[in-house]
A and B are shown apart, each in its own frame.
Chain A
Amino acid sequence: AQSVAQPEDQVNVAEGNPLTVKCTYSVSGNPYLFWYVQYPNRGLQFLLKYITGDNLVKGSYGFEAEFNKSQTSFHLKKPSALVSDSALYFCAVRDMSDDYKLSFGAGTTVTVRA
């Protein structure tokens, strides 16, 4: 079985400061990893993915994430946060051997204060 943990319910940062949202995962095989963002009263939007290759992946809106196999982590980062980054962020994982089932974490609410 696969699972995702987002250890922080909320992350608060000041605008211009670095933003990190943590994610750890568990799969029996090799993982496909994803980050999605949800703005209020909207559906989820895809940010980035790790499939294979370079451990540092870049995505939309200046976000990036680092895959760390030994720590089974896939933390989302942004060097300089904007107020408009305030949203709910979800990490998700799919086991390469399980074609179609995506497991989501509980989500982390990010608040960026001006």
Chain B
Amino acid sequence: NAGVTQTPKFQVLKTGQSMTLQCAQDMNHEYMSWYRQDPGMGLRLIHYSVGAGITDQGEVPNGYNVSRSTTEDFPLRLLSAAPSQTSVYFCASSSIGQGVYEQYFGPGTRLTVT
């Protein structure tokens, strides 16, 4: 099992550019989520999904879109990048049948917006 994979590992964008951060899991988990990690602020939930075709907003959803067309994939789209979106982004997944207790995290994508 690869677990949760994320691409790219690093990305530099200019203000106003768009891009998609990829996330995939091979554990057949229903629940997937995106977090951003900023110094001194911990992890903040951006969007989450409880299954294909179902997504919902987290704590900081503005400027980000998600979709879930398959169980395995949960891409995060930045519509028009801003310097405030400079952060480390983590994707995570969990089995809902186990109560979304233990989340498995990907290795992260470090994004810099100039």
Contact = CB atoms under 8 A, between A and B. Distances in A.
Interface of A: 4, 9, 32, 34, 36, 41-46, 49, 51, 90, 94, 99-107
B102 A107 contact: no
A30 to B, nearest CB: 13
B45 A102 contact: yes
A51 B58 CA distance: 22
10 contacts: A41-B107, A42-B108, A44-B105, A46-B102, A51-B101, A101-B58, A102-B33, A103-B45, A104-B35, A104-B44
Contacts of A99: 100
A46 B103 contact: yes
Nearest to A107: B42
Nearest to A6: B42
Nearest to B48: A100
Given A104-B42, A105-B42, A107-B42, A43 B4 contact: yes
Contacts of A44: 43, 90, 92, 103, 105
A25 to B, nearest CB: 13
A60 B87 CA distance: 29
Nearest to B41: A106
A42 B42 contact: no
Contacts of B42: 4, 90, 104-107
B99 A100 contact: no
A101 B45 contact: yes
B100 A100 contact: yes
Interface in B65-114: 90, 92, 99-108
Closest 3 CB pairs of A and B: A43-B105, A104-B42, A104-B43
Q: Name which of B40, B42, B44 has the most chain A CB atoms within 10 A of its CB.
A: B42
A5 B34 CA distance: 21
